[in-house]
Structure 1
Protein backbone atom coordinates (compact mmCIF):
# COMPACT_ATOMS: atom_id res chain seq x y z
CA UNK A 1 0.00 0.00 0.00
CA UNK A 2 1.09 3.53 -0.73
CA UNK A 3 1.73 6.09 1.96
CA UNK A 4 2.01 8.87 -0.64
CA UNK A 5 -1.07 11.12 -0.76
CA UNK A 6 -2.24 14.15 -2.70
CA UNK A 7 0.24 14.09 -5.53
CA UNK A 8 0.44 17.19 -7.65
CA UNK A 9 1.45 16.86 -11.29
CA UNK A 10 5.04 17.79 -10.39
CA UNK A 11 5.17 14.93 -7.84
CA UNK A 12 4.28 12.22 -10.36
CA UNK A 13 7.31 10.10 -11.22
CA UNK A 14 7.01 8.07 -14.41
CA UNK A 15 7.82 4.48 -13.47
CA UNK A 16 6.51 4.72 -9.90
CA UNK A 17 4.40 1.67 -8.99
CA UNK A 18 1.61 1.38 -6.42
CA UNK A 19 -0.38 -1.56 -5.05
CA UNK A 20 -3.82 -1.37 -3.47
CA UNK A 21 -5.44 -3.30 -0.67
CA UNK A 22 -7.23 -6.56 -1.48
CA UNK A 23 -10.94 -6.97 -2.19
CA UNK A 24 -12.74 -10.33 -2.20
CA UNK A 25 -15.59 -10.58 -4.69
CA UNK A 26 -18.86 -11.76 -3.16
CA UNK A 27 -22.06 -12.91 -4.77
CA UNK A 28 -23.71 -9.84 -3.19
CA UNK A 29 -21.20 -7.58 -4.99
CA UNK A 30 -22.21 -9.06 -8.34
CA UNK A 31 -25.96 -8.96 -7.65
CA UNK A 32 -25.75 -5.38 -6.33
CA UNK A 33 -23.86 -4.27 -9.44
CA UNK A 34 -26.43 -6.01 -11.67
CA UNK A 35 -29.25 -4.24 -9.84
CA UNK A 36 -27.54 -0.85 -9.93
CA UNK A 37 -26.63 -1.01 -13.64
CA UNK A 38 -29.77 -2.93 -14.74
CA UNK A 39 -27.49 -5.48 -16.44
CA UNK A 40 -29.09 -8.67 -15.19
CA UNK A 41 -27.61 -11.03 -17.76
CA UNK A 42 -27.87 -14.60 -16.42
CA UNK A 43 -24.07 -15.00 -16.37
CA UNK A 44 -24.17 -12.51 -13.50
CA UNK A 45 -27.41 -13.55 -11.78
CA UNK A 46 -28.01 -17.26 -12.41
CA UNK A 47 -25.27 -19.63 -11.21
CA UNK A 48 -26.75 -22.63 -13.07
CA UNK A 49 -26.77 -20.67 -16.32
CA UNK A 50 -23.16 -19.57 -15.73
CA UNK A 51 -22.11 -23.19 -15.07
CA UNK A 52 -23.83 -24.34 -18.28
CA UNK A 53 -21.80 -21.63 -20.06
CA UNK A 54 -18.57 -23.15 -18.73
CA UNK A 55 -17.90 -21.06 -15.63
CA UNK A 56 -17.70 -22.40 -12.07
CA UNK A 57 -20.57 -20.10 -11.02
CA UNK A 58 -21.57 -16.47 -11.31
CA UNK A 59 -19.10 -14.16 -12.97
CA UNK A 60 -18.85 -10.44 -12.29
CA UNK A 61 -19.44 -7.92 -15.03
CA UNK A 62 -16.31 -6.67 -16.75
CA UNK A 63 -17.44 -3.15 -15.91
CA UNK A 64 -17.73 -4.18 -12.26
CA UNK A 65 -14.03 -5.03 -12.41
CA UNK A 66 -13.18 -1.74 -14.08
CA UNK A 67 -15.20 0.16 -11.46
CA UNK A 68 -13.52 -1.82 -8.70
CA UNK A 69 -10.13 -0.89 -10.15
CA UNK A 70 -10.98 2.80 -9.90
CA UNK A 71 -12.38 2.37 -6.39
CA UNK A 72 -9.34 0.51 -5.11
CA UNK A 73 -7.06 3.11 -6.68
CA UNK A 74 -9.04 5.90 -5.04
CA UNK A 75 -8.42 4.31 -1.62
CA UNK A 76 -4.72 5.02 -2.14
CA UNK A 77 -5.62 8.75 -1.95
CA UNK A 78 -2.93 9.58 -4.50
CA UNK A 79 -4.99 12.54 -5.76
CA UNK A 80 -7.51 12.95 -2.96
CA UNK A 81 -7.38 16.76 -3.17
CA UNK A 82 -5.54 17.19 -6.48
CA UNK A 83 -7.70 15.28 -8.97
CA UNK A 84 -9.61 17.35 -11.50
CA UNK A 85 -11.06 14.66 -13.80
CA UNK A 86 -10.72 11.22 -15.24
CA UNK A 87 -10.16 11.68 -18.98
CA UNK A 88 -10.90 8.08 -19.82
CA UNK A 89 -9.85 4.48 -19.99
CA UNK A 90 -8.02 3.06 -23.01
CA UNK A 91 -7.06 -0.41 -24.19
CA UNK A 92 -9.27 -2.14 -21.62
CA UNK A 93 -8.93 -5.93 -21.81
CA UNK A 94 -11.02 -8.34 -19.77
CA UNK A 95 -8.41 -11.09 -19.65
CA UNK A 96 -9.99 -13.60 -17.23
CA UNK A 97 -13.42 -13.86 -15.61
CA UNK A 98 -14.01 -12.37 -12.17
CA UNK A 99 -15.40 -15.08 -9.91
CA UNK A 100 -17.06 -15.15 -6.51
CA UNK A 101 -14.27 -15.63 -3.96
CA UNK A 102 -11.54 -14.04 -6.09
CA UNK A 103 -9.20 -11.96 -3.94
CA UNK A 104 -8.16 -9.01 -6.11
CA UNK A 105 -5.89 -6.00 -5.94
CA UNK A 106 -4.69 -3.33 -8.34
CA UNK A 107 -1.16 -2.62 -9.45
CA UNK A 108 -0.75 0.78 -11.04
CA UNK A 109 2.27 2.46 -12.61
CA UNK A 110 2.72 5.95 -13.98
CA UNK A 111 3.73 5.59 -17.63
CA UNK A 112 3.61 9.17 -18.95
CA UNK A 113 2.86 12.76 -18.05
CA UNK A 114 2.54 16.08 -19.84
CA UNK A 115 1.30 19.56 -19.02
CA UNK A 116 -2.30 20.31 -20.01
CA UNK A 117 -2.71 22.56 -23.04
CA UNK A 118 -5.83 24.24 -21.64
CA UNK A 119 -5.21 24.94 -17.94
CA UNK A 120 -2.58 24.88 -15.21
CA UNK A 121 -2.79 21.14 -14.69
CA UNK A 122 -1.15 17.97 -15.90
CA UNK A 123 -2.28 14.91 -17.82
CA UNK A 124 -1.00 11.65 -16.38
CA UNK A 125 -1.18 8.16 -17.81
CA UNK A 126 -1.39 5.05 -15.64
CA UNK A 127 -0.99 1.40 -16.57
CA UNK A 128 -3.58 -0.32 -14.38
CA UNK A 129 -3.95 -4.06 -13.81
CA UNK A 130 -6.45 -5.97 -11.69
CA UNK A 131 -4.73 -9.11 -10.37
CA UNK A 132 -5.85 -12.08 -8.31
CA UNK A 133 -4.04 -13.53 -5.29
CA UNK A 134 -1.93 -15.72 -7.60
CA UNK A 135 -0.77 -12.68 -9.57
CA UNK A 136 -2.80 -13.51 -12.67
CA UNK A 137 -4.06 -10.51 -14.62
CA UNK A 138 -7.85 -10.32 -14.71
CA UNK A 139 -8.18 -6.87 -16.33
CA UNK A 140 -5.53 -4.78 -18.05
CA UNK A 141 -6.09 -1.12 -18.96
CA UNK A 142 -4.69 2.35 -19.32
CA UNK A 143 -6.17 5.30 -17.44
CA UNK A 144 -5.71 9.00 -18.19
CA UNK A 145 -6.26 11.64 -15.48
CA UNK A 146 -6.07 15.39 -15.14
CA UNK A 147 -4.52 16.57 -11.88
CA UNK A 148 -3.64 19.92 -10.39
CA UNK A 149 -0.22 21.49 -10.67
CA UNK A 150 1.37 22.74 -7.48
CA UNK A 151 0.16 26.29 -6.75
CA UNK A 152 2.76 28.95 -7.44
CA UNK A 153 3.84 31.04 -4.47
Structure 2
Protein backbone atom coordinates (compact mmCIF):
# COMPACT_ATOMS: atom_id res chain seq x y z
CA UNK A 1 0.00 0.00 0.00
CA UNK A 2 1.32 3.48 -0.81
CA UNK A 3 2.31 5.86 1.97
CA UNK A 4 -0.65 7.86 3.29
CA UNK A 5 -0.14 11.62 3.37
CA UNK A 6 -2.97 12.47 5.77
CA UNK A 7 -3.15 12.40 9.53
CA UNK A 8 -4.70 9.39 11.15
CA UNK A 9 -7.15 9.78 14.02
CA UNK A 10 -4.31 8.80 16.37
CA UNK A 11 -2.26 11.78 15.17
CA UNK A 12 -4.93 14.37 15.95
CA UNK A 13 -5.21 15.97 19.40
CA UNK A 14 -7.68 18.42 20.94
CA UNK A 15 -6.23 21.91 20.48
CA UNK A 16 -4.39 21.12 17.24
CA UNK A 17 -4.74 23.86 14.64
CA UNK A 18 -4.37 23.21 10.92
CA UNK A 19 -4.18 25.96 8.30
CA UNK A 20 -4.59 25.55 4.57
CA UNK A 21 -2.89 27.28 1.70
CA UNK A 22 -4.58 30.23 0.01
CA UNK A 23 -6.62 30.59 -3.16
CA UNK A 24 -8.07 33.61 -4.93
CA UNK A 25 -11.75 33.42 -5.82
CA UNK A 26 -12.39 34.60 -9.39
CA UNK A 27 -15.43 35.82 -11.24
CA UNK A 28 -15.09 32.68 -13.36
CA UNK A 29 -15.45 30.59 -10.18
CA UNK A 30 -18.66 32.43 -9.29
CA UNK A 31 -20.14 32.06 -12.78
CA UNK A 32 -19.12 28.41 -13.06
CA UNK A 33 -20.64 27.64 -9.66
CA UNK A 34 -23.90 29.35 -10.72
CA UNK A 35 -23.94 27.14 -13.82
CA UNK A 36 -23.05 23.99 -11.89
CA UNK A 37 -25.57 24.56 -9.10
CA UNK A 38 -28.30 26.29 -11.09
CA UNK A 39 -28.27 29.11 -8.52
CA UNK A 40 -28.48 32.22 -10.67
CA UNK A 41 -29.63 34.47 -7.83
CA UNK A 42 -28.98 38.04 -8.91
CA UNK A 43 -26.70 38.71 -5.94
CA UNK A 44 -24.27 36.30 -7.62
CA UNK A 45 -24.82 37.03 -11.32
CA UNK A 46 -26.27 40.49 -12.03
CA UNK A 47 -23.85 43.42 -11.83
CA UNK A 48 -26.59 46.04 -12.23
CA UNK A 49 -28.68 44.50 -9.46
CA UNK A 50 -25.62 44.27 -7.21
CA UNK A 51 -24.87 47.98 -7.60
CA UNK A 52 -27.94 48.53 -5.41
CA UNK A 53 -26.84 46.04 -2.73
CA UNK A 54 -24.42 46.66 0.13
CA UNK A 55 -21.86 44.56 -1.78
CA UNK A 56 -21.73 46.69 -4.94
CA UNK A 57 -20.81 43.71 -7.10
CA UNK A 58 -21.60 39.99 -7.36
CA UNK A 59 -20.54 37.89 -4.38
CA UNK A 60 -19.54 34.24 -4.19
CA UNK A 61 -22.15 31.67 -3.22
CA UNK A 62 -21.73 30.47 0.38
CA UNK A 63 -21.42 26.83 -0.72
CA UNK A 64 -18.77 27.84 -3.28
CA UNK A 65 -16.60 29.33 -0.53
CA UNK A 66 -17.15 26.19 1.58
CA UNK A 67 -16.19 24.00 -1.40
CA UNK A 68 -13.03 25.92 -2.15
CA UNK A 69 -12.02 25.71 1.52
CA UNK A 70 -12.66 21.94 1.47
CA UNK A 71 -10.40 21.66 -1.57
CA UNK A 72 -7.70 23.70 0.14
CA UNK A 73 -8.00 21.40 3.16
CA UNK A 74 -7.53 18.34 0.95
CA UNK A 75 -4.58 19.96 -0.84
CA UNK A 76 -2.94 20.58 2.54
CA UNK A 77 -2.69 16.81 2.96
CA UNK A 78 -4.37 16.74 6.38
CA UNK A 79 -6.99 14.18 5.38
CA UNK A 80 -5.50 12.66 2.22
CA UNK A 81 -6.07 8.91 2.47
CA UNK A 82 -7.30 9.00 6.07
CA UNK A 83 -10.70 10.71 5.92
CA UNK A 84 -13.59 8.25 5.78
CA UNK A 85 -16.53 10.68 5.75
CA UNK A 86 -17.81 14.13 6.58
CA UNK A 87 -20.46 13.39 9.22
CA UNK A 88 -21.98 16.84 9.47
CA UNK A 89 -21.55 20.56 9.61
CA UNK A 90 -23.35 22.62 12.23
CA UNK A 91 -23.63 26.33 13.00
CA UNK A 92 -22.51 27.29 9.47
CA UNK A 93 -22.44 31.07 9.33
CA UNK A 94 -21.77 33.43 6.44
CA UNK A 95 -20.06 36.26 8.34
CA UNK A 96 -18.85 38.45 5.47
CA UNK A 97 -19.15 38.38 1.67
CA UNK A 98 -16.47 36.94 -0.59
CA UNK A 99 -15.98 38.84 -3.83
CA UNK A 100 -14.04 38.13 -6.98
CA UNK A 101 -10.40 38.85 -6.18
CA UNK A 102 -10.62 37.85 -2.51
CA UNK A 103 -8.07 35.28 -1.40
CA UNK A 104 -9.33 32.78 1.16
CA UNK A 105 -7.85 30.18 3.48
CA UNK A 106 -9.17 28.01 6.30
CA UNK A 107 -8.01 27.40 9.83
CA UNK A 108 -9.35 24.33 11.66
CA UNK A 109 -9.11 23.91 15.43
CA UNK A 110 -9.71 20.46 16.89
CA UNK A 111 -12.41 20.70 19.57
CA UNK A 112 -13.01 17.04 20.35
CA UNK A 113 -11.86 13.55 19.39
CA UNK A 114 -13.72 10.31 20.07
CA UNK A 115 -12.83 6.75 19.15
CA UNK A 116 -15.76 4.82 17.66
CA UNK A 117 -17.01 1.57 19.19
CA UNK A 118 -15.37 -0.39 16.33
CA UNK A 119 -12.00 0.98 17.43
CA UNK A 120 -10.59 1.40 13.93
CA UNK A 121 -11.98 4.89 13.35
CA UNK A 122 -12.46 8.08 15.27
CA UNK A 123 -14.68 11.15 15.10
CA UNK A 124 -12.88 14.49 15.01
CA UNK A 125 -14.84 17.68 15.70
CA UNK A 126 -13.28 20.89 14.40
CA UNK A 127 -14.16 24.56 14.35
CA UNK A 128 -13.51 25.68 10.79
CA UNK A 129 -12.95 29.37 10.18
CA UNK A 130 -12.50 30.73 6.67
CA UNK A 131 -10.66 34.03 6.32
CA UNK A 132 -10.02 36.47 3.49
CA UNK A 133 -6.73 38.17 2.65
CA UNK A 134 -7.37 40.85 5.30
CA UNK A 135 -7.65 38.16 8.01
CA UNK A 136 -11.40 38.89 8.25
CA UNK A 137 -13.64 35.95 9.05
CA UNK A 138 -15.94 35.19 6.10
CA UNK A 139 -17.42 31.86 7.24
CA UNK A 140 -17.48 29.75 10.39
CA UNK A 141 -18.79 26.28 11.17
CA UNK A 142 -18.30 23.21 13.34
CA UNK A 143 -17.71 19.99 11.40
CA UNK A 144 -17.49 16.36 12.44
CA UNK A 145 -15.39 13.99 10.36
CA UNK A 146 -14.65 10.30 10.56
CA UNK A 147 -10.94 9.41 10.28
CA UNK A 148 -9.21 6.06 9.99
CA UNK A 149 -7.01 4.96 12.89
CA UNK A 150 -3.40 4.13 12.17
CA UNK A 151 -3.09 0.49 11.09
CA UNK A 152 -1.10 -1.55 13.60
CA UNK A 153 1.49 -2.45 10.96
CA UNK A 154 2.08 1.22 9.93
CA UNK A 155 5.12 3.00 11.34
CA UNK A 156 6.06 6.67 11.53
CA UNK A 157 9.43 6.35 9.80
Q: What TM-score results when the alignment is normalised by the length of structure 2?
A: 0.90
> Counterpart of 1:106 in 2: which secondary structure?
strand
Q: Relative to total residues, which structure has the larger strand share, 1 or 2?
A: 1
Deviations 1:12-55 (A, max 9, x none): 01111121111111110000000000001111111111121221
CA distance in 2: counterparts of 1:23 and 1:146, whole angstroms: 26
Is the 2:72–2:105 Cα contact (8 Å) retained in structure 1?
yes
What does 1:25-36 align with in structure 2 at a 5 Å threshold?
A: 25-36=25-36
Q: How does 1:1-150 map to 2 (within 5 A)?
A: 5-118=5-118, 120-150=120-150
The Cα of 1:118 is off from its aligned counterpart by 4.7
Q: Is the 8 A contact 2:69 2:104 kept in 1?
A: no
Q: State the number of aligned residues.
A: 149
TM-score by length of 1: 0.92
Output the CA distance in 1 between the equivalents of 2:66 and 2:23.
Answer: 13
Q: Which runs of 5+ in 2 are unaligned?
A: none
- How far apart, CA to CA, are the structure 1 residues paired with 2:20 and 2:51? 31
> Matched residue of 1:145: which SS?
strand
Residue 84 of structure 1 and its aligned partner are, at CA, apart by 0.7
Unmatched 5+ stretches in structure 1: none
After TM superposition, which residue ranges in structure 1, 4 or more long, deviate above 6 angstroms?
none
Q: Distance in 2 between matches of 1:126 and 1:65?
A: 17
Distance 1:85 1:66 in 2: 16
Q: 1:119: how far off?
A: 5.6
